[in-house]
Amino acid sequence: MSDLVGSGPRLLDPACGLASSLLSSALRPRTNVTGFDINARIAATAKARFELAGVSADIFARDWLAQDTGPEWDSICIEPPFSIKLTEEQRQANPGFLSRPKSDMIWVRKAVDSLTPRGVAVVMLPTRTLHSDQDAHFRMNLLEKGQIEAIIALPAGASLSTGIETCLWIVRGERDPDRSNRVLLVNGSEVSRGAASNGFEAGKGIADLVLRWREDEGGIEPPSWRWTAIAADVLAASRDLSPRAHLPSAPRITEPRPLAPVRMLSALQLGEFKAVGRPLSIPLRPLTLVFGRNSAGKSSLIQALLLMRQSLNSSRLATRGDGFDLGTFRGLVHRHDTERQMTLGVSFGSLPLIDSPLVVPNPSLARSIDLVFEQMPSGTARTSRVMVTFDNESFEFLRSTKEENAPFTISANDAERLVRLATSETFTYPTRKPSRDMAVRVRRALSRLDSARVDVPAVGNLPGPTADINLDAARQSSTHAGLEDGGLRRGTNAIGAVTQELEALFRRMVYLGPLRQPPLRVNTRQDANRVATDIPFFLLDNSSEREEVSSWMRRLGVDYDLDVLNLANAPGAHVLGDIATVVLRNERKGVSLSTADVGFGVSQVLPILVELSARTESIILIEQPEIHLHPAMQSELADLLIESTDEAGRGNQIIAETHSEHIMLRVQRRIREGQFDPAQVAVLYVDQRPDGSAYVKELRLDSSGDFIDEWPNGFFSERFDEVFSGVM
């Protein structure tokens, strides 16, 4: 948000919370940042975070809405709590809201009154503020005064603290005489779609558009379904500031999208990783259940996925992340032999949600990316080799030197093959006119070089979407431009696109460890950078999902309804700030309990139920989902896992490490009943060879739910013998 405000020296966040956003604002040059929060404890925590980061800021425990303010701030950024109950002091300090028990527009009104004449404020609010009748008077007043610069409808998930649709109000201290009283309306879902999917901050595309609008550069694209500029009096007449009310619908692609051969992750490739020595290709399906004896290496599968996700955009092997710490390269590489090179890789399928803005390789092509890590002299590790594969076409990228930030190198032969593939008619979606002679021209140009080597700059641990040709100075002007502007760029864009797809897919991955955090009696909003769902506030903001989780709990045998209390709305509790508590109610018994007071099993299964409800087309990694659950609850949980993977429903992929025969038996039963396709489940057994190296065996199921492959080592032998023989 700080990219959208002005460049003045004084910046305020009057609802700073734990100051995650304010920290990034503080890094702007020549900016003095100030943060307020109504909760003294949270303000103290925010101040401590700045001190630990070595960044200067003024943080105060203060109720900004209850203060008398004047035009003193150059920039204001606000992501406030929504639908708060206004106190008497807050209403008295804002005369226009004396009769309003609740209002989100008070934040915009307060921001406008607090700005210097050339100041700019950005306020994130629910989209209902753009069209609700109760806020119409304030919208019209701002339009009449020319203080609304832009309205931006944000894409889903722009704010991780809430599931409702939001928007950005960009307002000014005074009318800008150069803007002719026109308002910029932006469909943020379209503008930021590419930026969100290629690993950049989702708002970068929006910020660039707004900055170009301010500068009125000729390079800004013409009005379209993405954005337009509209006169304030036209908006006032419509009384609706929603961009969707004034922008045409996006054009539809008429060419059918080819089907992907697999859904999300289809295989995990490991080599020299922990107990795994020789290379393994491990099948993954929409529901993957991983069994094995303790310390056999079954946790390595989930750890490898987390490690790979964490390391893609890092320049090194990133062994620490949200909820896990895997130590060092020496501790991870097989037999702790740092002379070995460790391989982490995945095969996956295309999804519209992960399309790259560079180009969309044909969705019918299977994708595979393998990263090979080696230890550097400094003791850290980074990729030494990356293999990218489309179906059966593989392209190898090697580091050009042993330096940590060295670019990758692709051979001239691979470069020619890559260009030939990328310029073919069917490689991209939608299809485009092929360039049949482009690969030949690239081959001829490379053959004229003394050193036929193509350098590809590294982006984190991956090859990037651009290329550099090592040419003699005499040849650079005649050859380099033609290669860069032609087929070679299309080839490296294809590589960049598939790596961006993987980054986007991994951002849709969440991990639930073997011991979920016990519930707290009261909860504050979590850091927006967290991967896992902020359970209390997700349930608070999403009533339909809250009802669904309650329904699932009843299916598991928990005779309570789930509810969430927003303590900030309780009488006299406004000083607490944005705090909520999760409670369980039994209306028949007239009993209400905190989740902190019920059995440990409920607290352990609740995060699983919430993630299954919150996620669609996502990858959910779970260790020991059955922990502290009664056998009957384990069986019902298996049904919920199956339902979550249904492509016609939520379409998630679940990879669960488990010891539960009850989950396995329920999966077999549903296959036998014809309710679950055995092709949608992978049962993996992890064990070790006599030399201590791990192996993974897939145990296939037939259409009757019986195992085709023998269950090894008598695991679950008593109950499984009955199932294998067809006896229920």
Sorted by where each starts, the structural domains of the chain and their CATH numbers stand as: 2-245 (3.40.50.150), 283-325+615-728 (3.40.50), 509-613 (no CATH)
- The torsion angles phi and psi of 474, rounded to 5 degrees, stand at -70, -25
**Predicted local confidence at residue 321, as pLDDT:** 75
CA distance 651 to 716: 30
Query: What percentage of the chain has pLDDT greater than the value 90?
Result: 41
Average pLDDT, integer, range 214-223: 58
On the question of pLDDT at 710 being above 70, the answer is yes
Neighbours of 328 (CB within 10 A): 15
**Predicted local confidence at residue 214, as pLDDT:** 78
On the question of pLDDT at 223 being above 70, the answer is no
Average pLDDT, integer, range 182-198: 63
pLDDT band at 9 (very low <50, low <70, confident <90, very high): confident
Mean pLDDT (the chain) is 83
Question: Which amino acid makes up residue 535?
Answer: I
On the question of pLDDT at 162 being above 70, the answer is no
On the question of pLDDT at 323 being above 80, the answer is no
Burial (CB count <10 Å: 0-12, 13-18, 19+), residue 340:
middle
**Predicted local confidence at residue 700, as pLDDT:** 96
Higher pLDDT, 173 or 286: 286
Check residue 15 and report its DSSP letter.
Answer: T
**Predicted local confidence at residue 253, as pLDDT:** 60
Higher pLDDT, 686 or 24: 686
pLDDT tens readout for residues 627-663: 888 899 999 999 999 999 999 889 999 999 999 999 9
Query: What percentage of the chain has pLDDT greater than the value 70?
Result: 83
Question: Which amino acid makes up residue 664?
Answer: M
pLDDT tens readout for residues 397-440: 999 888 888 999 999 889 889 999 998 988 999 887 777 677 77
**Predicted local confidence at residue 520, as pLDDT:** 72
On the question of pLDDT at 716 being above 90, the answer is no
**Predicted local confidence at residue 151, as pLDDT:** 92
Scanning the structure block, which residue is given the tokens 């930026």?
Answer: 195
**Predicted local confidence at residue 482, as pLDDT:** 47
**Predicted local confidence at residue 688, as pLDDT:** 93
**Predicted local confidence at residue 345, as pLDDT:** 98
* Residue 289: both structure tokens together: 């259940």
**Predicted local confidence at residue 25, as pLDDT:** 75
pLDDT tens readout for residues 376-391: 988 899 999 999 999 9
Check residue 351 and report its DSSP letter.
Answer: -
Among the residue ranges 217-221, 584-588, 704-708, the one predicted with the least confidence is: 217-221
* Residue 216: both structure tokens together: 């009125």
Contacts of 45 (CB under 8 A, 6+ apart): 18
pLDDT band at 203 (very low <50, low <70, confident <90, very high): low
Higher pLDDT, 561 or 348: 348
What is the pairing mode between strands 367-375 and 381-390? antiparallel
On the question of pLDDT at 373 being above 90, the answer is yes
**Predicted local confidence at residue 1, as pLDDT:** 67
